[in-house]
Structure 1
Amino acid sequence: MPRLTVLVQGKPHVLSFRPGASLREILDRSDYRVRSACLGHGACGLCQVRLLSGEGGPHQPAEQFQLSASDLTEGKRLACQMRPTTDLTVEILNPPPPSGWRTPPEGLTYAPAGFAADRPPPPGVSHPVGAAVDLGTTHLSVAVHSLASGRRLAERWGKNPQGRFGSDVVTRLMAAQRPEVAEALAFAARHAIGEAIADVARREGLDCRAFSRVTVVGNTAMLALLADRNHHLLLQPAYWMAPLECTTIDGAAWAQAWGIARQAQIELVPPLGGFVGSDLIAGLVACRLTEGSAPALFIDFGTNSEIALWTGSDLWVTATAGGPAFESGAGSCGTPAEAGAVFRVAETADGGLAFRVLDDDCAHGLCGSGLVDLVACLRRRQRLDAKGRFAEGAKNFAFAVGEREFSLGLRDIDALQRAKAAVGAGIAALSAVAGLPLAALQRVVVAGLFGRYLDIANAQAIGLLPSVPVSHIELVGNTAAAGATALLLSTQAQAMANRLRQQAQLINLAHRPEFEDAFLEHLYLRPTEAS
């Protein structure tokens, strides 16, 4: 892929990119954004860069209007008007203040098809827009759309600030036993949603008061903590199969805090039950699991992993604890799948290892998919056995990515083993209760940020994915966010979600006798039998 060298206050940074996007769009996925206030139309003239080398293409009318002849002669360009195709070097002029919000990584966005934007917006708002929010345990995604046309206007992606209270849902739920902590958790999530909306409004030239609907999906714990309602019940086994009420009591106060339309509709899409949240329902809507080939398996890998099995007549669903290995990184070399994460590891012809880094030139660590790749490579080289132990009693595996040195330790591998064992045992439990052999699967949908960057062969080699034909497996990105968008805009999507809610049969893995044995079996780093 072509490489972009970006100078920010004299310091160079190197990014790779796929031709087709504007320079502004490329930079918005990184830590090196440009100023903007016009949806990238060239109307504000704020996203100025200086082209130092490479081919930036012809000057566009918006650049000729916004920049003087001397500016153009000096190499000044508007980032939103350039669509680079080859290597180039640019300097960002007047960079914006640092922000925790950026465009989602390339390939993460999944666009649901066939849903008309036919939900009427609340009355009294000119040019109404809406925000679809996926409140994940680790990350928060916001997609902004015109409610009249359904056109996507902008996206934002950032960390869920609740992470400082714990990396997993159980830790946060336990912390929320104290009322003052529960209030802080709720405020952190609400404030983050408001920040993302404000960032979109400021950078895209939108009026916050035009936001007249906000639709939020998430796992049960995240929704309950956001609303600060009934989250304590999730720590009681009696409620692990029951629906949980976690809608907002005072949507008007949230709208006021966010600065959006006073009459805005604030919708917290209710979870299905137990730890199975509305993010699963949204994901099933987005990929239309019950309308495609059957039998079909849906896996949304995450800190709280959710699984669905569609037999063609029955829909079985469950949730299991994935832990930090899939999303936020675990152990000494783990990192979330964001700029600087090693997301791909491959063996080279000379016996070495090649690393690919996400949206940056400097590696920060291994994200989940990179960890899967590295473990699979070490297994093939017999540097690691099926139990997750290094050969010859070694305690770690040292490797370098560029100038950075890292060490893969037993803790990293153990976290991956436990996460994959939990998911594998969950799949086995659904297969058993449905009486369906995994070999019969015609479709396997792999969702989530972690799933988007998976190498299927490596995932199957260590038993993370079932051993079915690769052609049956789809890596689809953030289906929860895509489904939230469909629910924001479409009555058809809402009707489909209601049908799925009625069809779904929730399985509590704690009550399945085969779960413990299956968990132990899936701890091994080897392919699973698709039987």
Structure 2
Amino acid sequence: MQEIRINLFSPDGQKTVSWTQKGKNLREVIAVSNQDPGGSCGGRGICGKCKIRVSGILNPLTEQEKEFLLPDELKQGIRLACFSTIQGPLDVYLDYAPAQEIKTAGKIRQYRFKPLVQTQTFFIKGLDKSDPRPLLKRITDALPEFDVSITPHNLNELVKLDREGRPSIELKALVVDGQTVKYIGREKRSLYGIALDIGTTSLFAYLADLENGEVISAASATNMQRVYGSDIISRISYSLEKEEGLEELHRILISNINSLMADLLQQNDLVANDLIKIMVVGNPVMLHLFLGLNLNGFASTPYTGLFLDAMPMKASTAEIEARKDADLILLPQVGGFVGADTIACLLIIPPRVRRFLLVDIGTNGEMVLADGKKTWSASTAAGPAFEGGRISSGMRAGPGAVDKVFFSDDGRIGFNIIGNGQVKGICGSGLIDLIAVLRQGEYIDEFGTIDQNRSFDDNIKLESLKEDLGLIIHDAEKGESLVITQQDIRELQMAKAAIRTGIDILLQQAGMSFDELEAIYLAGAFGNVLQKTSCVDIGLIPPTSRDNLDKIINIGNAAAEGALKALLSDTALAEARAWQTRINYIELANQETFQDLFINNINLK
């Protein structure tokens, strides 16, 4: 059968060519090409988010697909990838897909650092007929205190320097762990490490020099497993329901990680052979998928995986591209769905803070509460609403996403658009702001219900949208509008109730009030951009006075930074194990108060 050419164009204009056969699903072809087709339902045709712009031959539009597309989108050639079947050559524009990002590392706090690699300068005599010792023998004699373990390729490089009658040669040895020489050359050379956070939605990596502890750069990319579902529950289901599901999820994640690391190394003129150590964190499901381990234990209570403790291995064992002798370590986990990423977050909490709440808000929310003597943790399935999933105009943060909503000085509702272009949708932080603003303006009541009896104007209008009621907010200054439906509000209420209920139950376990806490840490890329006031106003965080808002601290991608600390510090791994042993894991669904608290927390108060 003749193959069909598909040209895939990323948002930054880069073209990838893929070859496939007639009748193939376009979404699957995009995913196999390591591109992100978007969407949050795993291709089941119910979210309407895998929008792509297409030029070429596809199957005709169905009435079901048309339901998800606006008239202007139909005119632009927008289709849903999951509904599209390839009939001929295509140009596919992934306008909504997030691009992989390579960037210099921002300001990173300094940790106690013990160099893993050192440079040792030494001299060897040139080739001498009267003393015809082999080159490697002369090297080992010059370095008696070290175990010399260099590659044949390295030895071939050194032969070029070794000529008869040549005086002593100055060389530099790269010493690992103070005992093993891994490389010898004329120029100084280092080895590097990567701290990797495997998130459900995104991957994040730091690249560090293991001789001086310098963090060189960082990179992030979409976790391409999301094409099989936006949350861990979807991926567990996929792995169990499909015969090759587990292997598919494992392979796409390993390919995803190796691609991210290769780009990060290339941007810094390095190669995989320069990597000697990799530190990995993630939630339990992601770590099991990373290793290709069975997920049956996470499908039902008591939600137990196959391992919890720190797991050291060679990077090659995990199919990660690095030196053959590179070490890879998975940090320890807590239990249930609370994993090594939470332990990593705890590594960067200042020791002087004894009573704190740590919350990582996402599709799977994790939280830790400490009262100065004991520590408790829990996890909750918040669903994809915080990342734009199951929201009519929802999307992840990126160009065109509304990420902030506010009252302007004139009392009208305004919003910020990432990239300052046209509105494509609203991301999680913008959605939380919007609900807070609508509640403050009494457009919705404490139950989240739109007030149809209040007066509206050209800034905000009440509309009947298909089978739902909605509000259209128009920012006259930008000439742009965004839409939120009653169902969108309900989705956000359910997600925030899940997080808040987890917090309330941990406070009950500790016998503490919210005001007794010294600090409330919001972790994760999402938590880092949330407005504190909006979180309090909708009840995502327990009520506190405006004077106490300073206690709420956004700490960004703390999991990746904790992994970095574990990579660079010789004491952090022991610290991680200590946290693991003293945390009491609480299964929220087993708590008698869970149902009542959850129902109460659906309200916006």
Q: Normalising TM by the smaller chain, what interval? A: 0.7 to 0.9
Q: 1:150-200: CA deviations, max 9, x gaps?
A: 111111111100001111101100110134111111111111111111111
Q: Is the 8 A contact 1:212 1:263 kept in 2?
A: yes
Match for 1:500 among 576, 579, 589? 579
Q: 1:309-341: CA deviations, max 9, x gaps?
A: 010010111111121122354411111123332
- What is the alpha-carbon distance in structure 1 between the residues aligned to residue 556 and residue 423 of structure 2? 22
Shift of 1:112: 4.2
1:151 maps onto 2:208 in alignment: no
Shift of 1:225: 1.3
Q: CA RMSD in A?
A: 2.5
Match for 2:194 among 127, 131, 139? 131
Unmatched segments (≥5 aa) in structure 1: 1-7, 10-97, 527-531
- What is the alpha-carbon distance in structure 2 between the residues aligned to residue 417 and residue 345 of structure 1? 17
Q: Is the 8 A contact 1:227 1:246 kept in 2?
A: no
- What is the alpha-carbon distance in structure 2 between the residues aligned to residue 103 and residue 328 of structure 1? 24
Shift of 1:351: 2.6
Match for 1:422 among 462, 480, 498? 498
Which stretch shows the higher mean deviation, 508-517 or 233-242? 233-242
1:447 maps onto 2:523 in alignment: yes
**Matched residue of 1:502: which SS?**
helix
Match for 1:363 among 420, 423, 427? 423
Q: Which residue of 2 aligns with 1:524?
A: 603
**Matched residue of 1:176: which SS?**
helix
Q: Which residue of 2 aligns with 1:287?
A: 349
1:233 maps onto 2:321 in alignment: no
Shift of 1:359: 4.4
- What is the alpha-carbon distance in structure 1 between the residues aligned to residue 107 and residue 452 of structure 2? 44
Q: Which amino acid aligns with 1:524?
A: N
Distance verdict in 2 for CA 1:117–1:305, change over 3 Å = farther
- Residue pairs, 1:75-90, within 5 angstroms: none
Shift of 1:230: 3.1
Q: Which amino acid aligns with 2:227?
A: R
Q: Which amino acid aligns with 1:101?
A: Q
Between the aligned residues of both structures, percent identity stands at 30
Distance verdict in 2 for CA 1:103–1:203, change over 3 Å = closer
- What is the alpha-carbon distance in structure 2 between the residues aligned to residue 276 and residue 241 of structure 1? 11
- Residue pairs, 1:370-385, within 5 angstroms: 370-385=430-445
Q: Is the 8 A contact 1:201 1:207 kept in 2?
A: yes
1:397 maps onto 2:471 in alignment: yes
Q: Which has the higher relative contact order, 1 or 2, with Cα contacts under 8 A spaced 6 or more apart?
A: 1
- What is the alpha-carbon distance in structure 1 between the residues aligned to residue 217 and residue 600 of structure 2? 44
Q: Which residue of 2 aligns with 1:471?
A: 550
Q: Which residue of 2 aligns with 1:100?
A: 99
Q: Is the 8 A contact 2:332 2:576 kept in 1?
A: no
- What is the alpha-carbon distance in structure 2 between the residues aligned to residue 241 and residue 307 of structure 1? 19
**More strand per residue: 1 or 2?**
2
- What is the alpha-carbon distance in structure 2 between the residues aligned to residue 331 and residue 437 of structure 1? 33
Shift of 1:116: 2.0
Equivalences, count: 425
Q: Which residue of 1 aligns with 2:254?
A: 190
Shift of 1:239: 3.5
- What is the alpha-carbon distance in structure 1 between the residues aligned to residue 595 and residue 356 of structure 2? 24
Q: Which amino acid aligns with 2:216?
A: L
Q: Which residue of 2 aligns with 1:337?
A: 397
| TM-score normalised by the chain length of structure 2 | 0.66
Q: Which amino acid aligns with 1:114?
A: Y
- What is the alpha-carbon distance in structure 2 between the residues aligned to residue 281 and residue 298 of structure 1? 11
Q: 1:401-445: CA deviations, max 9, x gaps?
A: 645543111232122111111111101111111111222112111
- Residue pairs, 1:205-220, within 5 angstroms: 205-220=269-284
Which stretch shows the higher mean deviation, 457-466 or 356-365? 356-365
- What is the alpha-carbon distance in structure 1 between the residues aligned to residue 577 and residue 308 of structure 2? 16
Q: Which amino acid aligns with 2:331?
A: V
Distance verdict in 2 for CA 1:389–1:103, change over 3 Å = farther
Which stretch shows the higher mean deviation, 310-319 or 326-335? 326-335
Shift of 1:117: 4.4
Q: Which residue of 1 aligns with 2:387?
A: 327
Q: Which amino acid aligns with 1:513?
A: E
**Matched residue of 1:318: which SS?**
strand
Q: 1:211-250: CA deviations, max 9, x gaps?
A: 1112110011111112111322111313349854795877
Distance verdict in 2 for CA 1:295–1:195, change over 3 Å = same
1:263 maps onto 2:325 in alignment: yes
Q: Is the 8 A contact 2:522 2:528 kept in 1?
A: yes
Q: Which amino acid aligns with 1:204?
A: N
Q: Is the 8 A contact 1:243 1:273 kept in 2?
A: no
Q: 1:278-299: CA deviations, max 9, x gaps?
A: 00000010223xx233321110
